[in-house]
């Protein structure tokens, strides 16, 4: 039991350190705006901010989707072209976070108390994009789940969620990168 208590204390230390780093000038604005979306709380927002970096560097949402490996592969022979499963060639950590967040869109659109609290620090443009995302992605999931397995429908929803996140991050002003990035390690 003492070892479990020790591990729980270390987990709390790491969580506190992540929360502390999320408030630095490098991550604060990005994390706040990402948290304006359903299914993206502090740790998911930090994971996306760290794994994807500056989302504005992608010229188009499709390039961001390709970067995280959420685009379908293609089998072509002659004039015949058939889509295949997703490529999975991109950032696996970001892809996993996006797919996990996409599961929240299986439920009807609504603003929960937690989401409302997180959106207090968001710009009105991001809140509007988030609401559009909720409406579209829920309808998209409902249409897809009738003809595909739920896990495949969720991957399609995650791909579209990526597009909404790209659109929202276009409104976030750039932040100069610090000379040294903070490290997330527990102090022992």
Per the domain annotation, does 93 fall within a domain?
yes
- Across 70-106, b (16+ Cβ under 10 Å) vs e yields bbeeeeeeeeeeeeeebeeebeeebbebbbebbebbe
pLDDT of residue 174: 73
Q: Is residue 185 part of a domain?
A: no
Q: Residue 132: CA atoms inside 13 Å, Cβ hemisphere, count?
A: 12
Tokens of 128: 């509007």
Q: Is residue 46 part of a domain?
A: yes
Asked if 55 and 182 touch (Cβ cutoff 8 Å), the reply is no
Q: Is residue 184 in a domain?
A: no
**pLDDT score recorded for residue 176:** 59
Radius of gyration of the chain (CA): 18
What is the Cα–Cα distance from 137 to 157, expressed in whole angstroms?
6
- Structural domain including 103 reads 2-169
**Total structural domains within the chain:** 1
Q: Using a cut of 0.75, tell me whether the model's pTM lies above it.
A: yes
Residues of the chain above pLDDT 70, percent: 93
- pLDDT at site 187: 53
Report the pLDDT value the prediction gives residue 188, as an integer from 0 to 100. 47
Where the chain has pLDDT below 70, the residues are 175-188
Asked if residue 150 belongs to a domain, the reply is yes
* Residue 168: partners with Cβ closer than 8 Å, 6 or more residues away: 33, 34, 36, 37, 125, 126, 129, 130
């Amino acid at each position: 039991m003492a070892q479990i208590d020790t591990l729980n204390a270390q987990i709390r230390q790491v969580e506190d350190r992540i929360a502390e780093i999320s408030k630095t000038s490098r991550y604060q604005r990005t994390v706040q705006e990402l948290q304006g979306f359903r299914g993206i709380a502090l740790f998911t927002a930090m994971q996306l901010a760290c794994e994807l970096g500056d989302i504005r560097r992608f010229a188009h949402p499709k390039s961001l989707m390709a970067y995280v490996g959420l685009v379908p592969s293609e089998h072509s022979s002659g004039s015949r072209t058939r889509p295949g499963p997703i490529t999975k060639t991109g950032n696996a950590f970001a892809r996993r976070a996006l797919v996990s967040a996409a599961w929240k869109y299986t439920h009807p659109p609504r603003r929960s108390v937690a989401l409302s609290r997180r959106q207090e620090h968001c710009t009105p443009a991001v809140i509007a994009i988030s609401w559009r995302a909720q409406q579209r992605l829920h309808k998209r999931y409902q249409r897809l789940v009738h003809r595909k397995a739920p896990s495949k429908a969720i991957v399609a929803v995650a791909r579209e969620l990526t597009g909404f996140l790209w659109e929202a991050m276009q409104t976030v002003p750039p932040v100069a990168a610090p000379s040294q990035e903070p490290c997330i390690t527990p102090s022992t």
